[in-house]
């Protein structure tokens, strides 16, 4: 069965993300945290990034998470509002003057170069979002009265605290019962919980999910599935694609409610050069789709992809393919052979994976976690356009 997406006319919001948003501090360029005399201030969080990107592309999106009523919380609120994101259901906690009760989570990120990898150091304990508890958000008002076409959340939110492990199923089940499409990015973070905890908490959520996103490590650590021949050292050089596909089909068989399963394919040559691609499994026709230049078998991106900042690439993929499905995207050939994306039709999975891969790649050409990409740029790259100067 294909994704059953509510019409835009029946809902106030196209997509809502549930998750933590942090303030990121980075040395300029490729500098080191230890030697930094100034820091760049960015905003981002795995789930938040998806809603922000779609707002940039002209969609009606919202974010649900926790903030503290102080100027650092204001950085995030202003960032969301600048893109037109709905923040009505954000839970704002009072600031106690110290941050003992609740604070805004921080992360310190070095953007790597060459053989020196990018590094993120978390400082997110006792964050406002981790304090969210069951009953804090009126899900019925959000999903049933206001109406939402798509909910996106994932493992980063779920693993934050014992209470977010209660909020995640509450939100997911409420969305599912209201007929809202649910996507979930497995996003395993070993610094935040163990594999055993992840499997115990996540498996009961999957029957309420429509779109599942994750790489081979995510499926292993969060759901307990193995990919034959996968590199378990953490230094992934090459992913055995056919083994991954075999694993995905097993997941789809075990959970027949899943409509879409997707992942990015990244091979790391250096911090600034990666191979970049993605595949998407469509359960309706039992077919895998991989990004390609329309009308050819050539990948969208010539290997290697040159990267400015890799953080947020996976969120870029998730937001790109969600954009495709929500808008009924289909790449067609016009007279003269030019490719054009048309909207408002039955979404084409091939077009959607192209949009996801292209958006993830474009997002990694700029600094920070969140998208700075325009719709025109996305459409050009997703249809095979190059980087020739635009005058």
| Residue 1 in domain | no
| Residue 391 in domain | no
pLDDT of residue 389: 47
pLDDT of residue 261: 97
- Spatial contact of 155 and 189, defined as CB atoms under 8 Å apart: yes
- Spatial contact of 32 and 65, defined as CB atoms under 8 Å apart: no
Q: Which of 106, 107, 105 lies closest to 128, judged by CA?
A: 105
Nearest 5°: CA angle at 333, between 330 and 338? 120
- Spatial contact of 354 and 340, defined as CB atoms under 8 Å apart: no
How do beta strands 211-213 and 181-185 pair?
Answer: parallel
Tell me the residue range of the domain where 102 lies: 8-382
pLDDT of residue 339: 87
- Spatial contact of 260 and 281, defined as CB atoms under 8 Å apart: yes
| Residue 166 in domain | yes
pLDDT of residue 62: 98
| Residue 328 in domain | yes
- Spatial contact of 15 and 47, defined as CB atoms under 8 Å apart: no
pLDDT < 70 regions, the chain: 1, 229-239, 334-337, 387-391
pLDDT of residue 388: 56
Q: What is the DSSP code (8-state) at residue 227?
A: -
| Residue 304 in domain | yes
Instruction: Please state, in angstroms and rounded to a whole number, the distance separating the CA atoms of residues 57 and 109.
Output: 26
- Spatial contact of 137 and 64, defined as CB atoms under 8 Å apart: yes
The token pair that represents 52 in the structure block: 């922000």
CB atoms within 10 A of CB 7: 8
| Residue 126 in domain | yes
pLDDT of residue 93: 97
| Residue 174 in domain | yes
CA distances from residue 378 to 53, 86, 327 in whole angstroms, order as listed: 11, 23, 14
- Spatial contact of 362 and 373, defined as CB atoms under 8 Å apart: yes
- Exposure string over 163-194, b if 16+ CB within 10 A, otherwise e: ebbbbbbbbbebbbebbbbbbbbbbbeeebbe
Tokens 């995510």 sit on residue: 218
323-363 per-position pLDDT tens digit: 999 999 999 876 566 889 999 989 999 999 999 999 999 99
176-224 per-position pLDDT tens digit: 999 999 999 999 988 889 999 999 999 999 999 999 999 889 999 999 9
pLDDT of residue 192: 87
Nearest 5°: CA angle at 45, between 127 and 32? 90
Q: State how many domains the chain has.
A: 1
pLDDT of residue 338: 80
How many Å from the N-terminal Cα to the C-terminal Cα in the chain? Answer: 45
The token pair that represents 161 in the structure block: 């605290």
pLDDT of residue 191: 84
Q: Give yes or no for a cis peptide into 101 (omega within 30° of 0).
A: no
- Residue 8, burial from CB neighbour count under 10 angstroms (0-12, 13-18, 19+): middle
pLDDT of residue 233: 54
Hey, which residues does 122 pair with through a beta bridge?
A: 107
- Residue 305: CATH number of its domain: 3.40.1190.20
> Which alpha helices (DSSP H) does 155-240 contain, by range?
155-158, 164-177, 195-202, 216-218
The token pair that represents 81 in the structure block: 């509002």
| Residue 3 in domain | no
The token pair that represents 332 in the structure block: 């067609």
Predicted TM-score (pTM) of the model is 0.94
pLDDT of residue 387: 63
């Amino acid at each position: 069965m294909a994704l059953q997406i509510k019409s835009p006319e029946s809902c106030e919001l196209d997509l809502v993300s549930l998750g933590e948003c942090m303030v990121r501090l980075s040395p300029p360029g490729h500098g080191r945290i230890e030697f930094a005399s100034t820091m760049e201030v960015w905003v981002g969080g795995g789930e938040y990034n998806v809603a922000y990107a779609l707002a940039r592309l002209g969609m009606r999106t919202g974010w649900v998470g926790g903030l503290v009523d102080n100027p650092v919380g204001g950085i995030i609120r202003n960032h969301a509002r600048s893109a037109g994101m709905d923040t009505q259901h954000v839970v704002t906690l009072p600031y106690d003057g110290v941050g003992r009760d609740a604070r805004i989570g921080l992360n310190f990120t070095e953007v790597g170069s060459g053989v020196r990898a990018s590094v993120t150091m978390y400082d997110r304990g006792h964050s406002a979002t981790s304090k969210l508890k069951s009953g804090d958000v009126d899900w019925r008002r959000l999903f049933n009265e206001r109406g939402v076409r798509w909910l996106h959340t994932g493992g980063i939110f779920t693993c934050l605290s014992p209470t977010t492990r209660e909020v995640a199923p509450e939100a997911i089940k409420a969305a599912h019962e209201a007929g809202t499409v649910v996507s979930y990015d497995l996003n395993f973070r070993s610094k935040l919980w163990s594999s055993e905890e992840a499997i115990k908490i996540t498996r009961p959520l999957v029957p309420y999910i429509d779109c599942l996103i994750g790489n081979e490590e995510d499926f292993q650590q969060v759901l307990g599935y193995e990919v034959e021949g996968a590199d378990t050292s953490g230094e992934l050089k090459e992913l055995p694609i056919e083994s991954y596909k075999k694993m995905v089909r097993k997941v789809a068989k075990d959970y027949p409610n899943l409509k879409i399963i997707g992942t990015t394919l990244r091979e790391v040559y250096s911090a600034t050069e990666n191979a970049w691609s993605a595949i998407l499994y469509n359960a309706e026709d039992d077919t895998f789709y991989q990004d390609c230049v329309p009308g050819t078998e050539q990948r969208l991106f010539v290997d290697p992809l040159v990267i400015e900042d890799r953080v947020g690439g996976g969120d870029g993929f998730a937001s790109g393919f969600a954009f495709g499905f929500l808008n009924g995207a289909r790449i067609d050939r016009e007279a003269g052979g030019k490719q054009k994306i048309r909207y408002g039709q039955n979404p084409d999975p091939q077009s959607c994976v192209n949009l996801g891969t292209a958006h993830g790649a474009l997002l990694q050409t700029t600094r920070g976690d969140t998208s700075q990409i325009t719709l025109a740029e996305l459409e050009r790259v997703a249809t095979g356009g190059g980087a020739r100067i635009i005058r």
